[in-house]
Structure 1
Amino acid sequence: MKTKYAQLLAFFFLTTTRAEKSISNSLCAFSCIFMIFCLLASNYQKNGDFIMQSLLNGKHDRNLREDLHPTIAAFMIAAPLLNDLFPQDLTIGVSDTDKLLVSVGSKTIPPLSDGYILQTGDGMYEAVRDGEMQSTILPKEVFGFPVQANAIPLFDQDGIAIGAVGVASSLEQYNNLYDIASKLSVAVEQVTATIQELAGSVTSFSETMYFISEQSNSVLQSVQEIEKVAKMVREVSDHSQILGLNASIEAARAGDYGKGFSVVAQEIRKMAGNSKEHTETIRNTVSKINGLISQLHKSVSKSNAESESQSAALEELAATMQEINHNTNSLAEYAERIIKS
């Protein structure tokens, strides 16, 4: 008997997986009381009917009979008190090998009727039959929410199963947690997809701004070339003015012979003057264009830097959302394992 009880307690305290922990946690305190009543049962051999008589004389004498094994009687007395030891809402039942002796209901799970005949498929029936712990999940169609049901056999001093204890707890909170985690996971995936799309747009915008920056540099270089040409034209115009002036002087010295040349000299000076004016207009225009392109280049460079910063921030945000999504999926898987354990 001690070996079988030790195996059951080893299951409670030495489990490793989360699914097993969800079962063992719901029976951990129960197992402590179980050990105490096992000691009571073992002492019964030495103390005769004293323990049973004490139980019968107590306040919790419902359905107690003198022919009950002390272990079963002890659990019948402890059953109403077990709910106070757990944060979960539990329904607890104690049976002999044939029928339910006591059933303590919870706020969410109604109790079975005392005297209920155990049937094939019942956890306590199979615990007594197989001499092993039984665990099952009742679908939400039974109570409106999933229920975790566990049952352990009770043995006498010879190791023979004499009854069982069953505990049922609602998995509604875990089921709600699973639903919330699943919905959150979908929402996070959508947000992550949007962030990645936005990051792609920012990257594309950054590339476009870089292209514009390169083109503005090319235009700026072309404008500078135009400015150089305009400067050369102005220098030619100035020289033409000087040449026209010299030609007019020489034409005046030549008198009548230089009249025709004087007309040519005046036209040269006139053309030089017009060239100078047009060159000045070109220079002013080029100077304005040069200023605008320089300002555009600065703005493009600033926008490009901001786009790169935003792209890096979005990539970091996307990585964070992926981590959140991973944790959310882990939470959903954990809740699902608890529900299915």
Structure 2
Amino acid sequence: MDYEKYFQEELSDEEILRSFAVVIPFMNDMVRDDMAFGLSDLTKYIAYSAAETFELNVKYGNEPVDAVKECLRTGKIQIIDIPEHVLGTAMKAVIKPIRNAKGEIIGSLSNGIAMGEVIRLLTNIRVLSESIGQVSHNMTQLTQSSVDLAATAQKSAQLTEEAREAAKLTDEVLNLIRDVANETNLLGLNASIEAAHAGEQGRCFSVVAEEIRLLAKQTKESVKHIKTIIDRIDKSIQDISKAVEETAATSEEQAATNQEISANLASIEDHVRDLNEFSKKFA
């Protein structure tokens, strides 16, 4: 059963408007937002229920405001946003025509809704959305930097390993030079012996042999000195390699953590975006 139409058929125009006048004082207690209600017939206000935080200055018998007149003239719902400086608080006014059983407009019901809290909520949601978006953007960049750092650390670890392998090859070269020096020293010793056997005729040869042995000795000393330097370099490379491996492990762990945080932020951003869209329905 269409109860609205049933009661409209049973009541006169005056009785319908009087019914609204009886009900509107109770309506503000039934909603969360602070509201004011005004009731008019075709020419004047006939009832008013004030809000707690703002005053519409509606008086019995006053001529309706222009928006009410437009609603009565067109039969269309009027929705008006009133800025804070007008009445001391931001509010939204909704004006709906009242019709009798014949569909004729006999009056209007105005509803003023305080929007201060709603606007602050919408502003906070918008700021939160923008902040989350900026944090998410920064986190994405940080995550990419962590991934790049991890890749660089892995590359550094590979290079240090190659350096260690190169150091091992240097050891092989030094061993070869050491063997040559030993052979040269032995050759010089044999040459000295042969020069001694040759007596006076082998004196020049003896000088050459001595120079050869001296060169071999210097070569061995140089090899020993180079070996000490290379050992130090190898030790440094090992320390660097260990540090790089630790850095690589930390970077990979950080990258994984940042990716997880980014995923969580993306989820929060989606929820905030949904909340922002949902809140626009109350704007």
Q: Could you say which TM-score interval applies, normalised by the shorter chain?
A: 0.7 to 0.9
The match for 2:282 is: 338
Alignment partners' CA distance in 2, 1:291 and 1:138: 77
Superposed, 1:257-268 pairs within 5 Å as: 261-268=205-212
Q: Is the CA contact (8 Å cut-off) linking 1:91 and 1:106 kept in structure 2? A: yes
SS at match of 1:113: coil
Residues 14-33 of structure 1: per-residue CA shift (max 9 Å, x gap): xxxxxxxxxxxxxxxxxxxx
Gaps of 5+ in 2: none
SS at match of 2:93: strand
Residue 319 (structure 1) shift: 4.6
SS at match of 1:136: strand
Gaps of 5+ in 1: 7-34, 45-66
Count of aligned pairs between the two proteins: 281
> Cα–Cα, structure 1 residues 263 and 2, in superposed 2: closer, same or farther, change >3 Å?
closer
Residue 299 (structure 1) shift: 2.3
> TM-score scaled by structure 1?
0.67
Alignment partners' CA distance in 2, 1:119 and 1:264: 125
Q: Is the CA contact (8 Å cut-off) linking 1:90 and 1:170 kept in structure 2? A: yes
RMSD over equivalenced CA pairs, Å? 3.5
The match for 2:63 is: 117
SS at match of 1:69: helix
Q: Is the CA contact (8 Å cut-off) linking 2:90 and 2:116 kept in structure 1? A: yes
The match for 2:123 is: 179
Alignment partners' CA distance in 2, 1:119 and 1:219: 88
Residues 47-74 of structure 1: per-residue CA shift (max 9 Å, x gap): xxxxxxxxxxxxxxxxxxxx98333333
Residue 218 (structure 1) shift: 4.2
> TM-score scaled by structure 2?
0.79
Please identify, of 220-229 and 329-338, the stretch whose mean Cα deviation from structure 2 is larger: 329-338
The match for 1:79 is: 24
Residue 91 (structure 1) shift: 0.5
SS at match of 2:142: helix
Alignment partners' CA distance in 2, 1:258 and 1:228: 37
Alignment partners' CA distance in 2, 1:89 and 1:145: 11
Q: Is the CA contact (8 Å cut-off) linking 1:178 and 1:331 kept in structure 2? A: no
Paired amino acid for 2:138: T
- Overall identity of the aligned pairs, in %: 26
Alignment partners' CA distance in 2, 1:70 and 1:226: 110
Superposed, 1:321-332 pairs within 5 Å as: 321-332=265-276
Paired amino acid for 2:247: S
Alignment partners' CA distance in 2, 1:322 and 1:275: 67
Please identify, of 215-224 and 247-256, the stretch whose mean Cα deviation from structure 2 is larger: 247-256
The match for 1:148 is: 92
Alignment partners' CA distance in 2, 1:158 and 1:197: 66
The match for 2:50 is: 105
Q: Is the CA contact (8 Å cut-off) linking 1:185 and 1:325 kept in structure 2? A: yes
> Cα–Cα, structure 1 residues 155 and 137, in superposed 2: closer, same or farther, change >3 Å?
closer
Residues 98-150 of structure 1: per-residue CA shift (max 9 Å, x gap): 2211111111231411122235421xx45555556x24022214324442223
Q: Is the CA contact (8 Å cut-off) linking 1:241 and 1:269 kept in structure 2? A: yes
Superposed, 1:268-279 pairs within 5 Å as: 268-279=212-223
Alignment partners' CA distance in 2, 1:113 and 1:337: 31
Alignment partners' CA distance in 1, 2:268 and 2:26: 41
The match for 1:23 is: none
Alignment partners' CA distance in 1, 2:2 and 2:121: 39
